[in-house]
Amino acid sequence: REGDLPEACNLDRQAEVAALHHRHVAAGAQWVTSNTFGLSRLIANSPDKREHALLLLRAGVSLAHAAVAPLGVYGSIGPTSA
């Protein structure tokens, strides 16, 4: 949805995120990244949104691990400032 964080898919569209990870592995990937790039700024700069951002972060990492085990998952960490 417009205006939502892409990382919200880690909770709202888990099957689609997992399927994307599966497709990467099927295409030959040896590792995937978590769907968490945009959360760094929220965690660092928005105390009122920090708990929700951490929930999305944990969900993104868990989805990636579950989808590609035993392959590796790299955390996707974005900038913390504008």
The structure tokens 């105390």 sit at 47
What kind and span of H or E run contains 31?
A: strand 31-33
How confident is the model over 4-12, as a mean pLDDT?
A: 92
> pLDDT confidence of 82, banded at 50, 70, 90?
low
What is the CB-side half-sphere exposure of residue 26 using CA atoms within 13 A?
7
Per-residue pLDDT of 31-78, as tens digits, reads 999 999 999 988 889 999 999 999 999 999 999 999 999 999 999 999
pLDDT at 81: 80
pLDDT at 1: 63
The type of residue at 74 is Y
The pTM of the whole model exceeds 0.85: yes
